[in-house]
Amino acid sequence: MIFTVAIDGPAAAGKGTIGREIAARFGMRHLDTGLLYRAVGARTLRGEEAVAAARGLEAADLEGDLRRQDVAAAASRVAAVPEVRAALVDWQRGFARAAGGAVLDGRDIGTVICPEAEVKLYVTASPEVRAERRFAELAASDATLTREGVLEDVLARDARDMGRAEAPLVAAEDAVVLDTSTMSVEEAVGAAVAIVASALPAR
Ligand code: CDP
């Protein structure tokens, strides 16, 4: 079976959690494409030029602490460079259309990487709710973090991701929009699972 679930949306909207749960539930493989951009961003923080970093990306780069805020900011900067995005396209497309079904989450999955995806979700929530969730996720490992700082980071990254010329963050025309502002994790996952289940071919 070739079946792609494309999940796009702004920072900290819950794409990763929903993507992982859908993949587990339906036995599909899952790719958090943000990790690719974070890994390239992390290499630039170590002094490497962005395009060379993207072209030379290795599996080992996906390990380590890529959740940090400085890495996220670097990711969104390198993600605006067309040659960086181009270096990562083929691998993501191959993953999306490999046999067995795949769930990919990111910013341009339903619009650029896999416009033919069988299911497209655009997962979003208010900036305040997203900042609160990201603060809860990161505060334990970074005592210097403040709620205001996280909100600023989320807003700056959204503006950069939505405003860039190449593959900007936008809901695909045929995406189902899931606003999770007032949903629990279980409710958001449940809604997404129902949408995927109704699109799967009868087995
Ligand atoms: O987890 P969170 O939603 O905060 O971020 P992420 O999905 O790990 O993505 C980090 C950054 O990578 C984003 O702010 C985007 O600039 C970039 N990105 C992208 O441009 N295209 C993708 N398909 C995935 C991420």
Q: Where are the domains of the chain?
A: 4-192
pLDDT, position 202: 79
Cα angle at 162 between 92 and 101, to 5 degrees? 25
What is the CATH topology of the domain spanning 4-192?
Answer: Rossmann fold (3.40.50)
The whole-angstrom separation of Cα 146 and Cα 21 is 29
Q: Is the CB–ligand 1 distance for residue 92 below 6 Å?
A: no
In angstroms, what is the span from residue 98 Cα to ligand 1's centroid? Answer: 22
- Cβ neighbors of 180 (< 8 A, separation 6 or more) are 13, 14, 123, 124, 125, 129, 187, 188
Q: Which residues of 116-142 are buried (b: 16+ CB within 10 A; e: fewer)?
A: ebbbbbbbbbebebbbbbbbeebeeee
pLDDT, position 133: 94
Atom of ligand 1 nearest to the CA of 104: 23
Left if phi > 0, otherwise alpha if psi is -120 to 50, otherwise beta: which for 29? beta
Q: Is the CB–ligand 1 distance for residue 157 below 6 Å?
A: yes
CA dihedral (77, 83, 89, 90) positive or negative: negative
CB half-sphere exposure, 87, CA atoms < 13 A: 19
Cα angle at 106 between 1 and 96, to 5 degrees? 20
Which parts of the chain sit beneath pLDDT 50? none
Most informative mutation of 61, 90, 161 for ligand 1 (most atoms within 8 A of CB): 161
Q: Is the CB–ligand 1 distance for residue 7 below 6 Å?
A: no
- Whether the pTM exceeds 0.85: the reply is yes
Are residues 176 and 22 in contact, defined by beta-carbon separation less than 8 angstroms?
Answer: no
pLDDT, position 203: 64
Left if phi > 0, otherwise alpha if psi is -120 to 50, otherwise beta: which for 79? alpha
Are residues 117 and 197 in contact, defined by beta-carbon separation less than 8 angstroms?
Answer: no
